[in-house]
Amino acid sequence: MTERLTATPSGLEKAARILREGGLVAFGTETVYGLGGDATQPQAVARIFEAKNRPRFNPLISHFASAHAAFAQVEAPPIAHKLAHAFWPGPLTLVLPRAVGSTVSELAADGLSSLAVRVPRGAAVQALLAKIGRPIAAPSANRSGRISPSDTEHVLEELSGRIDAVLDTGPCAVGLESTVLDLTLPERPMLLRHGGIPAEALETVCGPLSYPDTQSDTAPVSPGRMLSHYAPTLPVRLEATHVLPTEALLAFGPHMPHGAAVTWNLSESGNLEEAAARLFAGLRFLDKAGARLGLTSLAVQPVPAQGLGLAIRDRLHRAAAPRPE
Ligand code: TXA
Ligand code: MG
């Protein structure tokens, strides 16, 4: 059974013990809840893939208590140090060449010669990482292809009975996954996934970014880019300016179209940070309401394509993409 732990000294101690013994503990970070396992134990990492039902061994992000600990596992050029200084702890993941002596299991990195590292923000996750003193591999704590969890209840909906414990740290502050930046290329850093740190903010530190030239799903550099990710059950209709009475509405801003069966406003004031933090909870809420009320689709109001809006739009486009099967 999945135990619910509180972020108290005894709860953290228990969580650290489970992880050291090769078990799985979900925990809140500033972005979303992660499904954590000791990255140095191949069996623990294998259990992560199994619990998530991941179709294949997508590489996982390793989480650390400090930049110092993270950079012991990778070859970090000066630009990585600069970015870490500016954004860690925080929602930025850096992909770097694996160091020769890296203790992260091959399975966590899917046998790649690179490794994704990040130092998350949040008192509880920081305390846990410091306590265990090892890298924790943690994908988002949802079953593969489903909406990422931004609260403990979501984790339990997804993974109850499949993991040992969840450390309840309340709702996540940012609510979107970390931005993934690849620093292994000879040219510009490449933004592999929009996320909690806007591209514009990164560019002020590391100059212009490059982007993968295909949005295709065929040989994804970063499997988080797979198109049919974040799938609610209801079909999703983007850029909606009106709604039908048979629709659920994911609204943004003060000017909502009226007449939807059920509505969740991401941010009535049109604030993108608030919208990011409320996105995954809103998708879950509307999806459930839609199933209960027998609705036809989920209409989504336009979200501006700037700053965190880019990451929000990315998740919404994936939610609207054609599904496999
Ligand atoms: O905010 C987050 O990043 C959350 C929290 C729990 O930290 N984690 C998360 O993990 O979103 P996950 O597994 O859902 O997404 C990890 C992303 C994927 O897109 C994966 O392909 C990419 O990071 N990634 C991991 N290692 C990589 C590598 N060596 N090269 C390129 N991309 C990599
Ligand atoms: Mg994920």
pLDDT reading at 243 higher than 70: yes
Does residue 32's CB lie within 6 angstroms of at least one atom of ligand 1? Answer: yes
Give DSSP secondary structure letters for 99-162. PTT--S-TTTTTT-SEEEEE----HHHHHHHHHH-S-EE--BSS-TTSPPP-SHHHHHHHHTTT
Under the banding of pLDDT at 50, 70 and 90, the label for residue 150 is: very high
Residue to mutate (ligand 1; options 24, 177, 194; most atoms within 8 A of CB): 177
The predicted structure's pLDDT at residue 219 = 43
Residue to mutate (ligand 1; options 93, 143, 280; most atoms within 8 A of CB): 93
The angle that helices 272-293 and 308-320 make with each other, rounded to 10 degrees, is 20
- The model's pLDDT over 30-49, given as tens digits with 9 standing for 90+, comes to 999 999 999 999 889 988 98
Among protein residues, the one with the nearest Cα to ligand 1's atom 32 is 222
Does residue 116's CB lie within 6 angstroms of at least one atom of ligand 1? Answer: yes
Among protein residues, the one with the nearest Cα to ligand 1's atom 31 is 222
Whether 79 and 207 have beta carbons less than 8 Å apart is answered as no
- The model's pLDDT over 163-208, given as tens digits with 9 standing for 90+, comes to 999 999 999 999 999 999 999 998 899 999 999 999 999 999 999 9
Over residues 249-267, mean pLDDT: 97
Per-residue tokens: 49: 């893939």
Does residue 180's CB lie within 6 angstroms of at least one atom of ligand 1? Answer: yes
Bond from prior residue into 120 cis (ω within 30 degrees of 0): no
Question: Which pTM was predicted?
Answer: 0.87
The predicted structure's pLDDT at residue 229 = 61
Does residue 61's CB lie within 6 angstroms of at least one atom of ligand 1? Answer: yes
Residue to mutate (ligand 1; options 52, 151, 180, 190; most atoms within 8 A of CB): 180
Does residue 138's CB lie within 6 angstroms of at least one atom of ligand 1? Answer: yes
